[in-house]
Structure 1
Amino acid sequence: MAKSEPIEVEGTITLALPNAMFKLKLDGSEQEILGIVSGKMRKHFIRILPGDRVKVELSPYDLTKGRIVFRQK
């Protein structure tokens, strides 16, 4: 069985948590999810602060957790 494609959404960081995890508020809904920084963002030391706009990939299987893949300028 093939992998399902991730769902890409945008959101805003609301709270910084330990271990490179963040609480995110998604655009277009009041839903808050848990976001984890992707490996390339950790590797290149990209800083994320509360209030930043980010792009998140959600798994179709669990819509409460996502991978932060891009920080908007």
Structure 2
Amino acid sequence: MEENQPKTNRKGFIEIIGTIEELLPGASFKVKLETGHEILAHLSGKMRMYKIRLLPGDKVKVEMTPYDLSKGRITYRI
């Protein structure tokens, strides 16, 4: 499997790498994926709990459900 291909984890979510493009109100972010698509993503609960800050240009790991590929959850800052 190639490095930039999306992977699925055990719960069926698609994990893919992206870059923060824009900060939006309410802890939301516009993320540009490695595939070229732009999605709307929010922080996961653990990242909020530990107050992980994100800035435009940061690389992140995003989880997406296969049912709605326009939204996602940021789970890790790379």
- In the TM superposition, 1:1-73 aligns within 5 A as 5-27=12-34, 29-72=35-78
Aligned residues: 68
Query: How high is the TM-score relative to the length of structure 1?
Result: 0.90
Moved over 4 A (4+): none
**Secondary structure of the structure 2 residue equivalent to 1:42:** helix
Unaligned runs of 5+ in 1: none
Unaligned runs of 5+ in 2: 1-10
Query: How high is the TM-score relative to the length of structure 2?
Result: 0.84
Q: Name which structure has the greater RCO, CA cutoff 8 Å, separation 6+.
A: 1
